């Protein structure tokens, strides 16, 4: 109950900036795929897939292994809301809301632990009412990235708690009480190892393209904690245990995603042309201020979207760094904890500057030294980390003002300025008040409208063509979308007893002659064909890489089923 007021204020603030989510329908956004994906996740799960890997209807009606490569957490959470009775649109909007509210709580937990309750509330407000947060929710509609905001402060907090426990590690086991204390310490240590591993794993299965750059930043934070730990060896071991456990918990996702990436178009589509990270660097003036817009990212200064960090976030960060540096130099009898907090403020400022630097072309050499960073596509994704550290620094500023009245005055001034400058950003461009679940999940919408916006998980080898902008797209027209799961030649072949699901097709057929069967499904490792109960090979030697096979004259029972590969099964076992 002692944290009731801060939590209530965080909730109220979340409701205010989430107000557009409460309107009927859904607003326009860049990533307009979430309702369709949740619908297909729900469908595949109810048909028996777990973990869900393959979805049908996407990929122009031919289906593809979306959740082999796309982190599933936000759709898992959306599925929980849907199973509780909400529609697909409302479930997606509720995931957006919780991404805002829980991120505020997460930042409050971190900053309160470091700098006290008032600082925690300040940081939480800055973290929620962040310009880039408005971009993620109301411009881009980046559901997974928006929820990534939740895990970042909790990861920092859990590792801080893990390092802080080292102070209690030097026990002399001379009596029963000390042995009991040592057991308590070891129990707490195990708890924070588990927590840090869980939060890291959740970040991986929420957004791997935020996890990747964060794993370049996190070691710098951990190195600072290592320098301050009394038992450096034990802290190192605990960090390694956390990391290994996190990788194990999330192995079901990242192992297949890495090892089966070679089968899809992702490299061909996301590392070239308009998706090349080299044309999406941000200019320094854009970080300070830029016209708010709902367009896209483009080369040079032609962006129709704002990448501003937020003037107040920048000024608060600089003020905190200057004040912390001055106080450290004076060194007037600070306690060990106070010195640590001052030093941590300077570390956070360094990480804030580093994150901002990584959005600019000055960091190009770093991007090219670490090729996996190219999968981020947009260097401005590092703005999530500028938001993380600048928000934490805003709370640190409150802490560094040692007089209570100054702290309260600074808190009210900062929050008022924050609301005046940023609250107006939290609204979409247009609403679609008439959008319903039925419209958003119709076959035409999913197989054509949604499929056109994202097809990097289509199998490699599918025939491509160039659009008017020179981008590669699938060589298919709307008239060519499949209406049936199975096509046969000759057409006189009878098909009956058909059973279809997203991952299995079963039917009987009476072939009057030798028959060619084409399943309107993209060929991908894991699809297995049985004819009359016997494993049978198939080909995909056609422009769309569709599963094709031949059967002899007569009656046949056909089963085509998507199953786990060795790598997927191994990954599932590890997790």
| Three state DSSP letters for 478-510 | HHHCCCCCEEEECCCCEEEEEEECCCEEEEEEE
CA angle in degrees (0–180, nearest 5) for 198-204-206 = 100
Q: Quick one: pLDDT at residue 1? A: 64
Question: What's 105-116 look like in SS3?
Answer: HHHHHHHHHHHC
What is the DSSP code string of 188-217?
A: HHHHHHHHHHHHHHHHHHH-HHHHHHHHHH
Cis peptide before 51 (omega within 30 of 0): yes
Asked if residue 22 has pLDDT above 60, the reply is yes
List domains and CATH numbers for the chain: 4-25+87-432 (no CATH), 486-574 (2.60.420)
Q: Quick one: pLDDT at residue 183? A: 56
Q: Is 310 helix (H, G, I), strand (E, B) or coil?
A: coil
User: What mean pLDDT do residues 537-553 have?
Assistant: 92
Cis peptide before 440 (omega within 30 of 0): no
Q: Quick one: pLDDT at residue 245? A: 97
329 vs 89, higher pLDDT: 89
Residue 192 buriedness (CB in 10 A; 0-12 / 13-18 / 19+): buried
Tokens 């970040």 appear where? Answer: 203
Q: What is the pLDDT confidence band of residue 202, given thresholds at 50, 70 and 90?
A: very high
d(CA 110, CA 71): 25
User: What mean pLDDT do residues 374-384 have?
Assistant: 94
Q: Is 301 helix (H, G, I), strand (E, B) or coil?
A: coil
Tell me the pLDDT tens digit for each residue of 387-404.
999 999 999 999 999 889
Tell me the pLDDT tens digit for each residue of 32-80.
999 999 999 999 999 999 999 999 999 999 999 999 999 999 999 999 9
Tell me the pLDDT tens digit for each residue of 441-498.
999 999 999 999 888 999 999 999 888 777 788 999 899 999 889 988 888 788 888 8
d(CA 168, CA 181): 9
Tokens 């089968």 appear where? Answer: 263
């Amino acid at each position: 109950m002692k944290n009731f007021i801060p939590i209530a204020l965080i909730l109220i603030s979340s409701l205010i900036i989430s107000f557009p989510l409460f309107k009927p329908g859904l607003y326009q956004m860049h990533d307009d795929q979430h309702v369709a994906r949740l619908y297909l996740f729900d469908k595949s799960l109810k048909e028996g897939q777990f973990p869900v890997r393959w979805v049908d209807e996407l990929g122009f009606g031919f289906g593809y292994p979306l959740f082999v490569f796309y982190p599933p957490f936000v759709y898992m959470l959306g599925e929980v809301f849907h199973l509780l009775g909400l529609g697909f649109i409302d479930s997606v909007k509720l995931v957006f809301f919780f991404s805002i509210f829980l991120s505020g709580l997460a930042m409050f937990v971190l900053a309160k632990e470091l700098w006290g309750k008032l600082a925690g509330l300040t940081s939480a407000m800055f973290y929620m009412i962040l310009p880039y947060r408005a971009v993620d929710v109301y411009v881009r509609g980046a559901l997974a990235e928006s929820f990534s905001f939740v895990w970042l402060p909790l990861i920092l907090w859990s590792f801080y708690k893990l390092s802080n426990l080292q102070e209690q590690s030097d026990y002399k086991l001379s009596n029963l009480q000390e042995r009991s204390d040592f057991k308590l310490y070891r129990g707490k240590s195990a708890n924070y190892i588990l927590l840090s591993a869980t939060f890291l794993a959740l970040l991986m299965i929420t957004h791997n393209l935020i996890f990747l750059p964060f794993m370049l930043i996190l070691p710098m934070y951990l190195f600072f904690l290592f320098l301050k730990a009394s038992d450096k060896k034990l802290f190192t071991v605990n960090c390694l245990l956390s990391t290994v456990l996190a990788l194990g918990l999330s192995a079901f996702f990242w192992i297949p995603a890495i090892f089966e990436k070679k089968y899809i178009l992702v490299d061909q589509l996301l590392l070239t042309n308009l998706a090349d990270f080299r044309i999406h660097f941000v200019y320094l003036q854009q970080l300070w201020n830029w016209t708010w817009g709902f367009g896209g990212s483009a080369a040079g200064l032609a962006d129709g979207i704002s990448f501003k960090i937020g003037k107040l976030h920048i000024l608060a960060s600089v003020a905190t760094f200057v004040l912390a540096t001055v106080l450290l130099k004076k060194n007037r009898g600070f306690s060990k904890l106070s010195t640590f907090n001052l030093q941590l403020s300077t570390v956070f400022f360094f990480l804030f500057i580093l994150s901002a630097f990584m959005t600019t072309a000055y960091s190009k050499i770093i991007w090219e030294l670490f090729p996996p960073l190219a999968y981020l596509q947009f260097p401005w994704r590092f703005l999530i980390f500028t938001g993380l550290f600048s928000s934490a620094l805003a709370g640190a500023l409150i802490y560094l003002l040692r007089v209570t009245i100054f702290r309260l005055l600074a808190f009210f001034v900062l929050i008022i300025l924050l609301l005046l400058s940023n609250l107006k950003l939290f609204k979409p461009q247009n609403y679609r008040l008439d959008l319903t679940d039925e419209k958003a999940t119709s076959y035409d919408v999913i197989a054509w409208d949604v499929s056109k916006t994202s097809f990097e998980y289509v199998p490699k080898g599918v025939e491509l063509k160039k659009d008017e902008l020179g981008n590669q797209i699938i060589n298919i027209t709307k008239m060519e979308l499949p209406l049936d799961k199975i096509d046969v030649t000759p057409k006189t072949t009878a098909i009956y007893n058909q059973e279809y699901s997203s991952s299995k097709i079963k039917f009987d057929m009476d072939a009057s002659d030798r028959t060619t069967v084409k399943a309107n499904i993209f060929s991908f490792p894991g699809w297995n064909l049985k004819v009359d109960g016997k494993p049978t090979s198939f080909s995909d030697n056609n422009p769309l890489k569709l599963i094709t096979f031949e059967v002899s004259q007569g009656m046949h029972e056909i089963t085509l089923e998507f199953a786990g590969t060795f790598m997927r099964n191994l990954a599932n076992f590890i997790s």
